[in-house]
Amino acid sequence: MVGRWRDGTGTLHVVGGADGADGAEEDREGAEGSAGRAEGLSAARAAGIPLIIAASYRARARGLLGRDGLTGALLLTPASGVHTFRMRFAIDVAYLDRRLTVVDVHTLRPGRLGRPRLRSRHVLEAEAGALERWGVRRGVRVVIAPGPSTPPPPSVR
């Protein structure tokens, strides 16, 4: 299980399906081992995807508003739904349960409201098409290796 998160940065690793073959008990500290199992994956997935963690109310409310793009992904926690009002680009949204298993994935254009998912505890956002490239789909488990607590300025294009 995942404990409480703090605003900051981290690395996202896609480890595999929900069948537990890739280590169902592996949480934050298991990210190092997941990179070694990624021999058939793309270099970006094996090395990890840059991640911004938004755990405070203020960081979650700001989200991707006012940005023209995003390098990597944004994790909103806790969250069960999102919207794209006042956003400038389409995003992929992955709803994650308590064990960081993907419950559902959708692409939202600007000005849309995503329905909340009951089992969702975290929401992962990325530019449209990125989650598919990274192999994030329903049933896949992700691992998050947190970085520093104080986030650097986000990478905006």
Of residues 95 and 30, which shows the higher confidence score?
95
pLDDT-based confidence at 1, cuts 50/70/90?
Answer: very low
Answer for the pair 83, 123: CB distance below 8 angstroms, yes or no.
Answer: no
The whole-number pLDDT of residue 155 equals 58
Within 10 A of 148 (CB to CB), how many other CB atoms are there? Answer: 10
Q: How is the beta sheet containing 8-16 ordered, strand by strand?
A: 102-108, 91-96, 122-127, 73-76, 49-54, 8-16, 141-146
pTM for the structure as a whole: 0.74
Answer for the pair 157, 15: CB distance below 8 angstroms, yes or no.
Answer: no
